[in-house]
Amino acid sequence: MDLRRLGLFLAVVDHGGFTAAANAVHVAQPAISLAVRELETELGATLLVRSRTGAVLTSAGRALVEPARTALRDVRTATAAVAAVTGLIAGQLDLVSLPSLAADPLAGLVGRFRSAHPAVTVHIAGAGDPVELAGMVRSGRAEVGITGAGSAVAALDAIPIATQELIAISPPGTTGGDGVLRLGDLAERPLVVTYLGSSLRTMLDTAMAGEGLTPNVAVETAQRDALVPLVLAGAGTAVVPASLASVAGALGAVVETIRPALCRAVVIVHRPGVLSPAAQRFVELGAPGRVG
């Protein structure tokens, strides 16, 4: 099976249509259409159906997507392995992270990786929740993920790299105690939260449910970048990673440690099996001694 055809087929899938795929991969649209038709002829099945909004996968097309990603990923891994042996310092590393882990620890890890391997290009994708992230790693859209430990990543190899604590930030002038906020008191404050199912929201809801509490949701947003501005504007209290709480505090927010503490184990995840040299090195940086 022609790997180029598989790659162009996935480009159409990922970009939602032939025209968008042609623009993204800089290949003429007729060439992409021909490659997909040839692939369909080879497999004896229709893979994509054109619609007014783009291209729609058939059941046969959906069945091909994950094996196609796996095949292309395996070829890139093999190529990179040979390059590493022959001394060629190059390649690509595809990562995915939860947004709440992008600043810490992902940014620091990528910075150290790029300092050590400046010729390797890093692509970072985002996932809305751990389930979506695990699916992206399983399908091969990303080789390595940064997420929280839990059942969502049970089918992947998960390597602990850090523990992240969540901190409460409140509007300037909020009166409280001595910098410590009990979970019961937090439940009584108007809260600015992310959407149901997101990692931060799940941690908060789970902790409160364990204490028999119900959060007082004042603002719900899908825009994580809006949490600090909303708090500073007086919309309510938010629960954020410690690194973001430090930034909010410098901007005037009231910062309080939550008790009992809200913490999560942060893990690097990947599919079982051999990693590309770039991915292996990235994992080594995150968890020294765990991958050799």
Does residue 291 form part of some domain?
no
pLDDT of residue 1: 76
Q: What is the CATH number of the domain that holds 60?
A: 1.10.10.10
Same domain, 230 and 138: no
Same domain, 246 and 270: no
Q: Residue 34 and residue 210: Cα distance in Å, rounded?
A: 57
The proportion of the chain whose per-residue pLDDT surpasses 70, expressed as a percent, equals 95
Q: What is the CATH number of the domain that holds 197?
A: 3.40.190.290
Q: How many domains does the chain have?
A: 3
pLDDT of residue 15: 92
Domain finish residue from 37, 66, 95: 66
Does residue 76 form part of some domain?
yes
Tens digit of each residue's pLDDT (9 = 90 or more) over 2-20: 888 999 999 999 999 999 9
Same domain, 27 and 51: yes
Same domain, 88 and 98: yes
Domain finish residue from 66, 87, 103: 66
pLDDT of residue 88: 41
Q: Residue 265 and residue 259: Cα distance in Å, rounded?
A: 17
Question: How far does Cα 207 stand from its chain's mean position?
Answer: 23
Does residue 292 form part of some domain?
no
Q: Which long-range contacts (CB under 8 A, 24 or more apart) does 67-70 make?
A: 68/6, 68/9, 68/10, 69/10, 69/139, 69/140, 69/141, 70/139, 70/140
pLDDT of residue 85: 52
CA distances from 84 to 49, 77, 120, 134, 280 (A): 41, 10, 12, 28, 12
Does residue 227 form part of some domain?
yes
Same domain, 261 and 180: yes
pLDDT tens-place values along the chain, 292 residues long: 788 899 999 999 999 999 999 998 888 999 999 999 999 999 999 999 988 878 999 999 999 999 999 888 888 877 776 766 554 466 789 999 999 899 899 999 999 999 988 888 899 999 989 999 999 999 888 999 999 998 999 999 999 999 999 999 999 999 876 899 999 999 999 999 999 988 899 999 999 999 999 999 999 999 888 999 999 999 999 999 999 999 999 999 999 999 999 999 999 999 998 888 888 889 998 887 554 4
Does residue 56 form part of some domain?
yes
Same domain, 79 and 20: no
Does residue 273 form part of some domain?
yes
pLDDT of residue 177: 66
Burial label for 45, CB within 10 Å (0-12, 13-18, 19+), is middle
Number of Cβ within a 10 Å radius of residue 53:
8
Does residue 94 form part of some domain?
yes
Same domain, 153 and 273: yes
Same domain, 233 and 173: yes
Domain finish residue from 41, 66, 91: 66
Q: What is the CATH number of the domain that holds 113?
A: 3.40.190.10
Same domain, 80 and 128: yes
Same domain, 276 and 146: yes
223 and 199 Cβ atoms separated by less than 8 Å: no
Same domain, 247 and 167: yes
Same domain, 223 and 259: yes
Domain range holding 234? Answer: 163-265
